[in-house]
A and B are shown apart, each in its own frame.
Chain A
C-alpha cells in the first residue's frame, strides 16, 4: 500500500523483468499502425530521448520551482505512459508538461493548470497550445493509461535511512543523491524496487572517491570499483574506506537485496553515462518536432 512497497501497485503492475519490458516494447512497436510511424519518423535511441526529456522537464520544473520529488514522479509517469503508448502518437512536450502537472498534485505541491501551460509555452512556444483543456485532456489519458495508479515509491526515503546506517559524509551524500536522480533517466524505475536503487547509490558513493567529482566522468572507474567489491579486501591494514566497503558487503549479504540487481543497476548507470557522450540535443529536438508538426500533434 501507500507506504508499503511490497503491497503497492508499483510492485504489482509497474515493475518489470528486463525481458518483460522488452516484450512490452516489442509488442508495441510491431503493431501495424505503429510500424508505419516508426519507419517514417526515426528517433534517437530511447536512452538519448530520455536524456532529452529529462533536460526539458528539469527546465520546466525549475521555472516553477518544483521540488525534486515531484520532478522524479513526473519522470516515472512519462516512463510508464510510454510503455503503453507509442511516442509518435503523442505530443511529447504536452505529455511532459502534463506529467509534471499531475505529479505536483500527487506530491502535494499543486500548480495551477494555467501556470503550467503558461510556463510550458514560454519554453516551447511552437509546440504547446494555449488551450488549457489540451493539458486537461492529456491528464485524463495519462491517469486512465496508468490505471489511476499514481502513488510512486522513490529511492529517496530508503536512502535517507541508509545514509545513517553507513554514516555517509556530505560529499558522499550528494554523490549518491545524484546517482538516484540520474537513475530516473534510465529504465531502472521500471525494473528495480526503490530500495535496490538506494543501496546502489550508497555503494557508488562509498566505493568511489567523492573527491573525484561527478559520476558521469567516472564510467570507467565505476567498472573497476565494481570488480573490487567482488573481491573482499585483504585483512592486512584495512583502511577506513575498505572497512566501510566491507560493512556494506556484509550488510548486502545479510539483506534480501540481490547482488545481481545491484550490479545491474550499476551497469545501467554506467551505460547511461556512456551513451550521454553521444547525446545531441539539437538532433533530438529536430526529430521530435518533425513528427509532432507533420502529424499535427500540437494542435
Chain B
C-alpha cells in the first residue's frame, strides 16, 4: 500500500553525485562515472539523455526510447540486470543513475583478442552465459524483450557478476497494440540481428534475444563477431533495405535456411531474396557448418579436449546450435538454454565469472575531458579515449522510430 505522499522534493544531481569523468556517448546522450556525495556512498554510472533536438532551449518532448528505459528501469530488479538507483529529472535533462560496473563483455573480449593473449577461460564463459541467460529469463518472464543484446551492453562488475544493461530499445511484448514492426522498423545491432528480423518479420518474438545470445557466446569463444556483415544503409526513411551481406555471413556458416526445417520461412516478407543469396558467393553454396566453425575455434584458441572445466566441449557446440537455430520456434528459450547439459553436466557454472582465472582486466576508461554533467556540450562532440562502440569498427544499433 502506498504511504502518505507529499509533494516530492526536487533532487539535484550535483547535490548527490560528484562526476569523476566521462565514459561514453551514443545517440541517446552521454554516460558519466560518478561518486556519491553527502552520505550517499558508492560508485555510479549516470546516463544523461540529451534533449530530443540538439541545441534546443525549450522542452521538446521526451523521446520514446527514454520513456521506455525510464519506465522499465524503475520496475526491473534482478541480480543479472543492471540496477537502477534513481532517476532524476532536472533542467530539461533526464539522468538515470545505475550501479557502476567496471567491465563489459566487449572490453573483456577486446582484452583477450590482443596478440599473445590466451582465450577467455572456459569456466568464465560458462559463468557469463549462465548469468546472462538468467537475466534474460527474468526479462522475458516479465514480457520484456531487450532487442539490443551485444557485448557492449552486457556489464560485468569487479566481483564477476554479469548484468544486462541498456534497455533503451527494450519494450513490453504482452498483447501489443500494434505489431512490433510498426514501432521500430529496425532493431538490434546488425551482427546480432536474428534471421527472422533480417527477413522482415512483422511479429517477432523474444527468440530474437536468444539469437543475439548465441552470437555473443560464439564471440566469447572466438573473440570476434561470428557473423560480421556489412550493413546496408537505409536509402530513405520509408523502406528498410534487405541486409543481404549480413544474411550471407550467416549462410556462409549455417547454410541457407530451408522450408522443411523452418515451415514459416516462405511467409517472410524478404523470402524471395534468399534465392539468389548464393549467386557469386561459393561459401553460401557450400557452407562451413557450425560444427567445423566450432571445432576450428576450439583448436585455434587452444581449448584442451578435457577436463570439463577447461573446455567448452561438445555440449558448448550443442548449446550454440540450439541458440543459432534458424526457426525462432525451434530456437532454445532462455529457460531451455539454462537447462542445457552445457550447464547441468560435469562442471557447474560459478557465480563469479572471474573466479580462478587470475586475469587482471583493465579498468573502464574514464576521460577527464568532460566532467561537468550540467554543461550543454553536445553529445558526440567530445569522445573519451575509446568509446564503447568503436572497437574494430563496430556498428552502432540503428533505431528508426515511427
Contacts and interface: CB of A to CB of B under 8 A. Distances in A.
Interface of A: 1-4, 7-9, 12-17, 20, 23-24, 27, 67, 69-70, 83-85, 101-102, 105-110, 113, 131-137, 139-140, 143-145, 147-151, 157
Interface string B65-89: 0011011111111000000000101
Contacts of A132: 58, 60-61
Interface centre among B2, B143, B172 (most CB of A within 10 A): B2
Contacts of B6: 27, 84
A21 B4 CA distance: 8
A3 B172 contact: yes
Contacts of A27: 4, 6
Interface string B248-281: 0000000000000000000000000000000000
A135 B7 contact: no
Contacts of B72: 2, 151
B58 A148 contact: no
Contacts of A139: 59, 61-62
Given A84-B6, A149-B71, A157-B175, 16 more contacts: A2-B143, A7-B75, A12-B2, A13-B2, A16-B1, A20-B2, A20-B4, A102-B67, A106-B67, A110-B64, A113-B60, A136-B62, A139-B62, A144-B8, A150-B71, A151-B172
B363 interface: no
A36 B144 CA distance: 47
A108 B177 contact: yes
B116 interface: no
A9 B2 CA distance: 10
Interface in B1-40: 1-8, 10
A293 to B, nearest CB: 23
B402 interface: yes
Nearest to B88: A144
A224 B2 CA distance: 33
B177 A151 contact: no
Given A3-B142, A3-B172, A3-B174, A136 B60 contact: yes
Contact of B60 (A1, A110, A133, A145): A133
Interface of B: 1-8, 10, 58-62, 64, 67-68, 70-77, 87, 89, 92, 141-144, 171-172, 174-178, 183, 401-402
Contact of A67 (B4, B61, B64, B177): B177
A139 B66 CA distance: 13
B5 A24 contact: yes
B12 to A, nearest CB: 12
A228 to B, nearest CB: 31
Contacts of B3: 20
A102 B66 CA distance: 12
B55 to A, nearest CB: 14
A108 B64 CA distance: 8
A110 B401 CA distance: 10
Nearest to A104: B64
Contact of B1 (A15, A83, A113): A15
B149 to A, nearest CB: 17
A148 B61 contact: no
Given A15-B1, A24-B5, A133-B58, A140 B92 contact: yes
A69 B177 contact: yes
B77 A148 contact: no
A208 B183 CA distance: 40
A91 to B, nearest CB: 15
Nearest to A150: B71
B400 to A, nearest CB: 13
A2 B59 CA distance: 28
Given A23-B4, A27-B4, A144-B89, A2 B172 contact: yes
B70 A1 contact: no
A139 to B, nearest CB: 6
Nearest to A143: B89
The 6 closest A-B CB pairs, nearest first, are A136-B59, A133-B58, A150-B71, A3-B143, A113-B61, A1-B142
Contact of B8 (A4, A147, A151): A147
Contacts of B7: 84-85
Interface centre among A1, A13, A16, A137 (most CB of B within 10 A): A1
Contact of A2 (B58, B62, B64, B75): B75
B1 A109 contact: no
Given A140-B89, A149-B74, A24 B4 contact: yes
B34 to A, nearest CB: 19
Interface centre among B5, B74, B142, B175 (most CB of A within 10 A): B5
A143 B77 contact: no
Nearest to B84: A148
B178 A136 contact: no
A135 B89 contact: no
Nearest to B62: A139
A85 B74 CA distance: 22
A157 B172 CA distance: 14
Contacts of A9: 74-75
B197 to A, nearest CB: 18
A89 B19 CA distance: 35
Contact of A84 (B5, B62, B77): B5
B4 A14 contact: no
A23 B60 CA distance: 36
B324 to A, nearest CB: 28
B121 to A, nearest CB: 33
A1 B5 contact: no
Contacts of B68: 106
A157 B3 CA distance: 27
B118 to A, nearest CB: 39
A151 B75 CA distance: 8
Nearest to B81: A1
Nearest to B1: A17
Contacts of B1: 15-17, 20
Contacts of B141: 3
Nearest to A135: B61
Contacts of B2: 12-16, 20
Contact of A108 (B5, B74, B171): B171
